[in-house]
Amino acid sequence: MGLVVVHHRWAGSSTGTFVLGTTEPVGGVNVGAGVIAAYPTTNIPIGGAVSYNSSNGVYTITSGTWENYVIPGFAECSADVVLRNCAIIGTVTEQTSERQLVKGPTTSGQMTLEYCTVDPQTPSAYYNGISQGVKAVRSWIKNTTDGIKAYSTSSNGARIRCEGVLIDQLTQFAPDYAASRTETHNDCIQTHHFLDTVELVGCKLNGRHSLTKGDIPPYRAQIAAVMCTVISGGEFRLTLDQCWLLGGIYCVNAGSDSVEMADSYLTITNSRFERPGTDQFGDGRAPSIALVVDNSLNFTGSGNTYIDNGQPVPVTPG
C-alpha cells in the first residue's frame, strides 16, 4: 500500500527539517503540515475493513494502516486505525447535519491521522475537521467551521492530541443555516466539556476565515483560534505547548460566556501569539485581544510571547 516508512522520510522544504515545537507548521506538500509525499489521487477501496454508507457519505474503517488514498466522504475510524498521507475531502453533495470529516472511536482509544489533508470539497456550515479519539500528526485541517470539535457529553472524553498540525482558513457562512443564527461561530478548536486532556504541541492555529470557500468577504465576527466554553456543570482540560496562535477576534477566548469554569483547566506554555493591533500579514485581520481568561478558570501560563517583538503576552481578565 504505497509508502512503507513515509513517517521517516523527509523530502525537503523551505523551512528545512521539521522539528516539533520549533518549526512553524506550514500547509502544503513536503512542508510542515499536510501530505508528506505526492498528493493522493486514488480513492480508498471499499471492502474488508472499509465499508461505505452512500446515504450519509460515511466510510467506516475498522482496522489497518491506509496510505496514499483519497477518502471522498467522512472517515469514522476504530481505535488503532492509521490514515497516512491521505486526503479526507467529504462528499460532493452537502450533508445537512453536523458531522466531522474525521472521527475516531467514541468510547476509548485513538485512531491516528498522519501527514493528511482534511479539506471538504464542498464546504458546509455543518462540517468540523476532527473530533473524539484522534491523534493527529503533521496534518492540515482547513475550510471547516471548526477545526477541532473538542468536546464530549459523556465520561468517554474527547481523547485528542495534535502534534505539528496546522488549522486555518475557517469557512464562515452568513447566515449560519446550520444553527439558525446571524453567522457561523468559527474556531480552530472549541471545547465544551469532557473528562480528559486535549493536548496540542507545536501546532499552528490561525483563526482567519477562508478567502476561497464559504461566504466571502468574511465578516470577522464570532471567531477565535482557541475557544473555551463549558456547558453548566461541565469541565474541560486543554493544554497547548509551543504553539502559534493567530487571528480571530481573540487568539484565545477562555472567559466570555459567563459560565463558571472553576472545574476546568487551561495550560498554555512557550507559545507565540499574534499581537493585537498589528498588521504583519497585511490583511488587516489581526486579533483584538490575544488572551482572555475567566477569573474562575484554573489557568497556567508561562513563556508565552508575541510573534513580532518577543514581548510577554498579558492575560486579560474575562
Report the candidate in 85, 88, 208 with the shortest Cα–Cα distance to residue 138: 85
- Residue-wise pLDDT for 261-277, tens only, equals 888 899 999 999 999 98
Beta-carbon contacts of 297 under 8 Å, excluding residues fewer than 6 positions away, are 228, 254, 255, 261, 262, 264, 265, 266, 318
- Residue-wise pLDDT for 52-92, tens only, equals 999 999 999 999 999 999 999 999 999 999 999 999 999 99
Residue 256 pLDDT more than 80? no
In contact, 313 and 306? CB cutoff 8 Å: yes
pLDDT, averaged across the chain: 89
- Residue-wise pLDDT for 80-136, tens only, equals 999 999 999 999 999 999 999 999 998 889 999 999 999 999 999 999 999 989 999
What burial class does residue 109 get, using C-beta atoms within 10 Å of its C-beta: 0-12 exposed, 13-18 middle, 19+ buried?
A: middle
pTM for this one?
0.93
